[in-house]
Amino acid sequence: MPWLPVDEAAERLGVSRASAWRIIQRHRIPTRKEKRGRTYRTLVDADLLALAVGQEAPPEPPPSPPQEALPAPRRSLEAHLSRIAAEARDLPRGLKWDLIKEEAQRLGVTPNYLARLLRRYEAGQLLYARRPRRDRGTHRVPAELRKLVVGLKLAHPRASARRILRILEANDPGLLLYRPYSTETLFRLSEATVRRILRKAEENPAFRYALLSEEGRREFARTWAGHVLAEYPMQMVMVDMTRCDVFVYLPEEDRMVRLRIHVALDVYSGAVPSLVFSREESQVPTDQLLILMTQDKTPLVPDWDVRGVPERIYWDNGKVYRSEKSEHWARTLGIELVYSRPHVSHTRGKVERFFGAFHQTFEALLPGYAGSDATERDSSELRRLLQNTRRWVAEGMPPERDPYPDRLLLEEEYKARALQWLLGTWHREPLEDGLTRLDLFRAFVPRHRLVEYRLEDLYLAAAYQVERVVRGNGTVQYRGRTWYLDPRHGSLLPWQGQKVVVLDVQVLPGQPLRVALKNPDGTLKVLGELLPEPLRADSLEARAKRAADKAAIRALQEEARRLVEELSPAMRLEDMLERLSGLAPLPRRERITLRAQELPAPSPEEIARGVEELAAELEDDLVLDPIALGEQWLKERGLLPRGEEE
């Protein structure tokens, strides 16, 4: 049995198409694709399929009977045209048409077709020339309906053709019906027609521009122009990262690596406000690059006076550039972030040219150069340089026995030479107008871009923010350890049970953790630094913490007492009415505060007189204990209190 389509083979074997496919996949029967007409069909070896099914291959179907002879080909039809034209030349119109019908029936064509060929033959024209359609270039869909479809696409740029069709049908199903030209047949607007209308509209650049977002329009203009322009320094800064082409040696790890270079390039002048090297791609070198760009570096490097806060930063869609930390840092400093379009590199041409100059004019001259790809590396040369470097480092790196250039550069040596190349070659290289990149930056940088920020504030803006709940003892948990507020800054006891923000500054190694409170407007109020909890309760650190906690408790109690006094419900009603209504103040009454008055000490004469009066009262019979007299005696004299007579 020959190769057959899967459905046809399944029908011959008496199984379903799904069963045939399961058998083919289970036994891995070979299949192949074959184009039949405009579609591809899957063919299978019918003999192997019958063997897997457990049947014998059915006999081949009998051949179909021969078909009738086809109509005469074109060449035979052309041969009869001269004879027919000669016979019909002198015939009247009716007889001529009868001749054409008779010959068309004999030749197997229609009379109209034969008459059309006969007219072309007599006129000397090409018999089978294809003429363009008379309606070519015109629209079958009415203009009003086309405008409605295009308008819906402009109103909903992200809507698909199916979505636009649903919107039209939901508003009025009759809008989808139209008559092309002057025919009486009603056509219904289809999804494919909507897609063709939109594809035709996208040929207009103005329509494509109208569909773009605001960021897409700016990027569209930049891509159209082919490069990014800036009118003055620090208006736009390009940021990018690449891998160095030189292997350097790390003495503390005893291995050679290729560092990564992170650069921020001013678009107007080409000067570099910040340059950072790192061993891996992470958020930390990106934060270091952004902070270094805004700082004054002349105290450490006198010739590197390129700094400022840019208006816009232009970079690609890397994960460290799209991160929430980078966007938060830029939002804090009022910097606009612009991302390049995916798979578009010519808009970052300036920073790419800097990398090219860095690789070709600086790194290519250093020992340990790896080349732009693996085919240019000499493994034996790298091993020899690594052995020489290890031997020199093991000896203590004596200057008199330095084998350079027969060794690899150390990491710090490489960084120092790269900075020297940047300041001496890249910044001092004269351009076409005779000015250097450093001269352009110094001459035209606006003063308002040279804003100075405190380094501590920038560190906090680039810090990782993690929310933690304060425990009952005034501590927080972070990275598996317990932390408490430095006693010099107070205690976290007043905020127990509430959320605080732990600020982890990883830009500069060795920075302490800080804790802050989040204000309602989203800003942070830094409380102070965090210290790890002491392990011993009798240590000086634990004693200082307890003292700070006690002071915080006393301050909290005093503040609570003050709040009770200010917000006590005993405040007068007229004060409340006056504050709420805003009317004229009511007449106030003086508040009387009862206070115990200290009486003067009695004189000796007053004391003696008082003793005499007391002795006289004791001699009176009426001065007796009421309980000893009894209730009867008190009733007789009316001395019993009212209410107790019954």
pLDDT band at 523 (very low <50, low <70, confident <90, very high): confident
Query: How far apart (Å, rounded) are the C-alpha atoms in residues 378 and 597?
Result: 103
Q: Which of 351, 366, 426 is nearest to 245 (CA)?
A: 366
Distance, CA of 266 to chain centre: 24
Residue that has been written with the tokens 């905020």 in this structure: 495
Under a CB-based contact definition with an 8 Å cutoff, are residues 340 and 239 in contact? Answer: no
What architecture is domain 228-452? 2-Layer Sandwich (3.30)
Under a CB-based contact definition with an 8 Å cutoff, are residues 530 and 515 in contact? Answer: yes
Residue that has been written with the tokens 């093991």 in this structure: 394
| Residues 493-518: tens digit of each pLDDT | 888 888 999 988 888 777 788 899 98
DSSP state of 375: G
Per the DSSP assignment, residues forming a β-bridge with 381 are none
State the burial class of residue 538 (Cβ atoms within 10 Å of its Cβ: 0-12, 13-18, 19+). Answer: exposed
pLDDT at residue 128, rounded to an integer: 75
Pick from 378-382, 465-469, 605-609: least confident: 605-609
pLDDT at 572 over 70: no
Query: How far apart (Å, rounded) are the C-alpha atoms in residues 75 and 354?
Result: 70
Q: Which of 376, 290, 284 is nearest to 329 (CA)?
A: 290
Pairing of β 464-469 and β 409-410: unpaired
| Residues 293-308: tens digit of each pLDDT | 999 999 889 889 999 9
Domain segments of the chain: what residues? 3-54, 91-123, 143-211, 228-452, 465-562, 604-637
| Residues 393-410: tens digit of each pLDDT | 999 999 899 999 899 999
| Residues 352-377: tens digit of each pLDDT | 999 999 999 999 999 988 877 666 66
| Residues 21-44: tens digit of each pLDDT | 888 888 888 888 887 766 788 888
What DSSP letter does each residue of 229-294 carry, written as one string?
Answer: --SSTTSEEEEEEEEEEEEEEETTTTEEEEEEEEEEEETTT---SEEEEESS-SHHHHHHHHHHHH
pLDDT at 579 over 70: no
pLDDT at residue 574, rounded to an integer: 56
pTM of the shown model: 0.55
DSSP state of 363: G
| Residues 71-84: tens digit of each pLDDT | 445 556 777 888 89
pLDDT at 378 over 60: yes
Pick from 14-18, 67-71, 130-134, 356-360: least confident: 67-71
Under a CB-based contact definition with an 8 Å cutoff, are residues 95 and 102 in contact? Answer: no
